[in-house]
Amino acid sequence: MIVAAASAEFVPVAVYNNVKGKDADVLKAFAEPTWNNPVMRFLGADEKDLIPRKDEVFHGGVVLARMAESLEKAKRPVPAYLKLGVAEFAPKKTEIAVFAMYCYWEGEAKLGALDGVVFTRIGELNKAEVVEVTFDPAVIDYKKLVEKAKELDCTHTVFARTDTQAKTAKEVVAEKKVVRSDKEIDATTQQQYHLAQHLRYHYLPLTMAQATKVNAALANGKSPDEFLSPLQLAIYTRFTKTTDAEAQRIAKLTPDRSPVGVIDYWKKLDAALAEQK
């Protein structure tokens, strides 16, 4: 996602330290020391910093957050896929809520579409079909989330993960529908059901947040393309031109949406799409 945003929204430049020539000239022009700590700067057309310079940038989430911040400072739109990347990977506090409803596949589509929901996971808890929601309380607080879930008929039972959640949930739904539980859900089932029915999207290298939003968009009859990076859209188009051999190799893959797994999956997909010799 960092590479996709860098190539689509910025003109990326790498300057090496302790190298003579143009690299050294650039460091001198910007008063940068010749040390080994990575330094990240976002410059406007006037070569002035859009946001404050920062060194020791080691976390991908920080990079994504600074990308979004710099676009905002430049008064340029922040793509939906980049906003999702910030919500999923930037270091911040998220919370977890669990709701039971008549059908978890419908529930994940409804709840996954809500602003502030980072990603969803479905499964069973106490023999009930549930959706586990990871959300950003800075965008949608727990009480508002429960209210929205109730409107969407997704509060047959509210499994509160904290005493505070239990107290808050009882302000929104009947007390008998609130169960205080720390028990993990059994998630050994098909995640993102609607996404799985659209193979060209299903086999894309998506993060968990992207899979959640793409699944919700498809379930609601909307285009999910705003949540895809230019690189992912290119792969989607490439799928229309796959050979039979490539299609067979792709069909053997199992998409991995985890932070580390998605990178490995992307490499496997690249190999499956390699041109025949």
The 10s digit of each residue's pLDDT in 106-132 is 999 999 999 999 999 999 999 999 999
Residues facing residue 216 across a β-bridge: none
pLDDT at 276: 47
Q: CB of 255 within 8 A of CB of 266? A: no
Distance, in Å, from the CA atom of 33 to the CA atom of 28, rounded to the nearest integer, reads 8
pLDDT of residue 275: 59
Q: Which long-range contacts (CB under 8 A, 24 or more apart) does 41-48 make?
A: 42/10, 42/66, 42/67, 42/70, 42/73, 44/74
SS3 230: helix
pLDDT interval class at 85 (50, 70, 90): very high
Angle at 187 between CA 155 and CA 111, to 5 degrees: 35
What pLDDT is recorded for position 19? Answer: 83
Token pair belonging to 245? 């051999």
Amino acid identity at 95: E
Q: How confident is the model at residue 33 (pLDDT cuts 50, 70, 90)?
A: confident
pLDDT of residue 18: 81
Q: Is the pLDDT of residue 277 over 50?
A: no
The answer to whether residue 80 scores a pLDDT higher than 60 is: yes
pLDDT in tens, 197-230: 999 999 999 999 999 999 999 999 999 999 999 9
Q: What is the mean pLDDT of residues 35-58?
A: 87
Average pLDDT of the residues in 99-105? 97
Buried b / exposed e over 144-174, threshold 16 CB at 10 Å, is ebbbbbbebebbbbbbbbeeebbebbbebbe
Residues 140-152, mean pLDDT to the nearest whole number: 98
Q: Looking at per-residue confidence, does 269 or 3 come out higher?
A: 269
Residue 58 clears pLDDT 80, i.e. is over it: no
Report pLDDT digits (tens) over 179-200. 999 999 999 999 999 999 999 9
Return the structure tokens found at 117.
């929901």
Q: Which domains occur in the chain, in start order? A: 2-89 (no CATH), 95-180 (3.30.1060.10), 201-272 (no CATH)
pLDDT-derived band at 91, boundaries 50, 70, 90: low
Mean pLDDT, the chain, integer: 93
- Residue 126 has a pLDDT of 95
* pLDDT at position 1: 79
Number of helices followed by number of strands (H, E) in the chain: 13, 7
Q: What is the DSSP string of 198-210?
A: SHHHHTS---HHH
Mean pLDDT in residue range 23-41 = 85
Strand ranges across the sheet with 95-100: 117-125, 128-135, 95-100, 157-160, 178-180
Give the pLDDT score at 90: 82
